[in-house]
């Protein structure tokens, strides 16, 4: 029998804290990048190459037969295979930020647990049975205890739906999210669950004391309002946020409104947050569809920050702002011009496993 854990002694670390590994899934669903899928494996390989320089990579693949082929493909880029652990865990899609586990740690007791949030494919797609089982399978592989956060709705207790990309934390008890994603009636994750109850659940399971509710995400985001495209902590009270300078762009007003909310925001110690603006790239269309291109969908490793770029004049501007504010890590640009056709970038496809050391 699993031992009873007092979850109030655990916390969700910030992404820039020390990590043991990064979880990713190898791309296989051609429907996610219609007409461009052939360009996608090399982008994943580049990301694995950059992460594996500094830490372990845990890679999910569809079946045993793929393993040798993928290993050969990684070796062509001189990736050290001893840094890449491959696991056969089937997925519907590759967005492990949303389907993978969220880890909690208790450094005093040297304990790590993982949360198995419910997943319903952003209340948008019908196929998600494999994705929904990812955290439990990882829990079994790693022999780490898991907890499934639950909520009571109409006398039924069901798993609470939450995606990693819908929240951002500073590791000390402050969380940023959007009303559009967690409270919106479109693509509704937890129908019948009020804002107050959502805050209670996130407080209980993630040890959150302070909430910053932004309004909306960006146009083209098929998750309907994920915060990891628009606003990210990079220090306990320092926040990057996306700004659109073109007044005719649909993102102009929503991002301006979010900025005003952030300007007034404080962290769990009631310290004013410092807000740093990062410009948006020019509106990007693929096959006449607007995609959610943003520099905020970056990922911290132990020694670097992988930042999406889009062959845009603002690429250099964004990289310079990030480097100026994160001096202790190397800033690595990742060309996501094709990857973003799947409506996700570097942060969406990675999930960090924090270290207890």
Give the model confidence (pLDDT) of 297-314 as tens digits: 999 999 999 999 999 999
Average pLDDT of the chain, as a whole number: 96
> What local confidence, expressed as pLDDT, does residue 41 receive?
98
Number of structural domains the chain divides into: 1
**H or E stretch at 101:** none
Report the pLDDT value the prediction gives residue 1, as an integer from 0 to 100.
39
Q: What pLDDT does residue 7 have?
A: 86
Q: What is the CATH number of the domain that holds 181?
A: 3.75.10.10
Q: Is 1 contained in some domain?
A: no
Assigned domain for 187 exists:
yes
**Is the pLDDT reported for residue 2 higher than 60?**
no
Bridge partners for 114 per DSSP: 103, 146
Asked if residue 173 has pLDDT above 70, the reply is yes
Band (pLDDT 50/70/90 cuts) for residue 5 is confident
Range of the structural domain that residue 103 is part of: 7-354
Instruction: Please state which of the ranges 6-10, 59-63, 269-273, 325-329 shows the lowest mean pLDDT.
Output: 6-10
Q: What is the mean pLDDT of residues 94-108?
A: 96
| Residue 113: inside a domain | yes
pLDDT, mean of residues 228-254: 98
User: End-to-end distance of the chain based on CA atoms, in angstroms?
Assistant: 27
Strands (E), 62-145: 84-88, 102-106, 111-115
Q: Span 133-150, mean pLDDT? A: 96
* Average pLDDT value for residue range 44-73: 97
Total residues belonging to the chain = 357
Question: Is the residue at 2 inside a domain?
Answer: no
* Whether 148 contacts 116, CB under 8 Å: yes
203-225 mean pLDDT: 96
Residue 102 resides in a domain = yes
- Which contacts of 66-70 are long-range, i.e. CB under 8 A and separated by 24 or more positions? 66/26, 70/26
pTM reported for the whole predicted model: 0.96
Mean pLDDT of all residues in 144-164 = 94
Is pLDDT above 70 for 4?
Answer: no
pLDDT at residue 3 tops 90:
no
The pLDDT of residue 6 is 82
Q: Hey, is 54 helix, strand or coil?
A: coil
> DSSP labels for 121-176?
GGGT-S--HHHHTHHHHHHHHHT--EE--EEEETTEEEEPB--GGG-EE-SSSEEE
Angstrom distance (rounded) from CA 335 to CA 76: 19
């Amino acid at each position: 029998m699993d031992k009873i854990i007092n979850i109030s002694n655990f916390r969700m670390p910030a992404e820039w804290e020390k990590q043991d590994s990064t979880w990713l899934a190898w791309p296989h669903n051609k429907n996610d990048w219609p007409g461009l899928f052939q360009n996608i494996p090399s982008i994943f390989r580049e990301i694995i190459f950059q992460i594996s320089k500094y830490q372990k990579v845990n890679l999910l693949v569809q079946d045993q037969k793929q393993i040798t082929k993928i290993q050969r493909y990684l070796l062509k880029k001189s990736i050290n295979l001893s840094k890449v652990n491959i696991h056969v865990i089937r997925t519907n899609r590759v967005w492990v930020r949303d389907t993978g586990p969220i880890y909690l740690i208790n450094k005093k007791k040297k304990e790590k647990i993982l949360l198995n949030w419910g997943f319903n494919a952003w209340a948008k797609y019908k196929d998600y049975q494999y994705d929904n089982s990812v955290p439990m399978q990882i829990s079994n592989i790693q022999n780490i205890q898991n907890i499934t956060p639950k909520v009571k709705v109409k006398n039924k207790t069901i798993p609470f739906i939450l995606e990693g990309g819908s929240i951002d934390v500073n590791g000390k008890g402050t969380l940023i999210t959007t009303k559009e994603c967690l409270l919106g009636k479109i693509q509704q994750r937890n129908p019948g669950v009020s804002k107050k109850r959502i805050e209670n659940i996130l407080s209980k399971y993630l040890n959150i004391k302070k909430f910053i509710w932004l309004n909306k995400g960006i146009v083209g985001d098929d998750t309907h309002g994920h915060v990891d495209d628009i606003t990210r902590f990079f220090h306990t009270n320092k926040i990057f946020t996306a700004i659109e300078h073109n007044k005719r762009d649909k993102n102009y007003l929503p991002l301006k409104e979010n900025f005003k909310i952030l300007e007034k925001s404080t962290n769990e110690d009631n310290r004013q947050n410092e807000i740093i603006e990062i410009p948006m790239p020019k509106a990007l269309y693929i096959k006449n569809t607007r995609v959610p291109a943003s520099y905020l969908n970056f990922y911290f490793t132990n020694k670097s920050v992988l930042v999406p770029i889009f062959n845009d004049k603002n690429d250099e501007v964004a990289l310079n702002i990030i480097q100026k504010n994160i001096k202790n890590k190397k800033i690595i640009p990742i060309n996501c011009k094709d990857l973003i056709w799947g409506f996700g970038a570097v942060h969406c496809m990675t999930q960090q496993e924090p270290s207890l050391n």
